Amino acid sequence: MADTTPTDEKFRGKVWRFDDDISTDVLSPGAFALDPVEVRMLHVLESVNPAFAAEVESGDVVVAGRNFGCGSSRETAPENLKALGVACVVAESFARIFMRNAVAVGLPVVVCSGVHGVFDDGDTAEVDLASGLVHNPGTGTQLRGDPLPEEMREILHAGGILALLRNSPPGPD
């Protein structure tokens, strides 16, 4: 089956910056849990930055503080960001399930200590998934994040865990 998910590991995009503990409740509010992605994506982060969902453009980069995606297991959190065109999320740290879900849906993430302090809203960010390098060309600052483990990058390369399942479905015992 044709898989159109880009496997390019380098991104360059406009930064939207958020603080610590951005929860799945703001990434995917519970009240819209049963709505389709077209509705859900309109409410992404609205309680912390009402302009985000309307103004974010394809290829933009989300930069955040610690514990990004904390809270529920709802995969709609990374899915909503992906649907809005976010190219990748770079954060000081991620909540475990969010990170797992991001990989599962094919949204690239990079853990990068200090990243929250070196970007402002509207800056440009350059991110290299393979090396973990995160660069702010406007200020010349470069940080080295932790590249994802090979096991997780393989799932991203495949375009997510469902693509993996389609490529190698379980056989009979």
Partner 1 sequence: MGMSMAERILARAANEERVEAGQFVVADIDLALLHDIFAAGVFDTLNDVGIEGVFDPDKAVVVIDHFVPAPSAEAAAVHERIRAHVARLGITSFYDAGDGICHQLLPERGHIRPGTLVVGTDSHTTTYGALGAGGAGIGTSDMVYALATGKLWFRVPETMRFELTGELMDQVSWKDVILHLAGRLGADAAQYMAMEFGGPGAARADMSSRLTVSNMAVEMGAKFGLFAADEVTDKYLRDQGGEGCDPFGPEIDANYAAVHDVQLSDLSPQVALPHEIDNVSPVEEVAGLKVNQCFLGSCTNGRIEDLHAAAEVLDGRKIAPGIRFLVSPASRRVLQEATRSGVLTSLIEAGATILAPGCGPCFGGHGGLLGPGERCIGTHNRNFIGRMGSSQAEIYLASPATVAASALTGHIADPREVRPDHG
Residues that bind partner 1 (CB under 8 A): 21, 23, 25-26, 29-31, 33-34, 46-48, 66-67, 70-75, 93-97, 100-101, 104-105, 149, 151, 160-162, 164-166, 169-170
Instruction: For partner 1, give the closer residue by CB, 10 or 166.
Output: 166
State in angstroms the smallest separation of the CB of 130 from partner 1: 18
State in angstroms the smallest separation of the CB of 12 from partner 1: 27
| Residue 140 neighbours by CB under 8 Å, 6+ apart | none
Instruction: For partner 1, give the closer residue by CB, 93 or 136.
Output: 93
State in angstroms the smallest separation of the CB of 144 from partner 1: 20
State in angstroms the smallest separation of the CB of 54 from partner 1: 17
Cα 13 to Cα 122: distance, rounded to the nearest angstrom? 9
Contact criterion met (CB below 8 Å) for 129 and 73:
no
Instruction: For partner 1, give the closer residue by CB, 26 or 127.
Output: 26
Beta strands 88-91 and 124-128, pairing class = unpaired
Tokens 């509705």 correspond to what residue?
Answer: 39
Instruction: For partner 1, give the closer residue by CB, 49 or 141.
Output: 49
- Distance of CA 70 to CAs 18, 27, 84, 96, Å? 13, 10, 20, 8
47 half-sphere exposure, CB direction, 13 A CA radius: 9
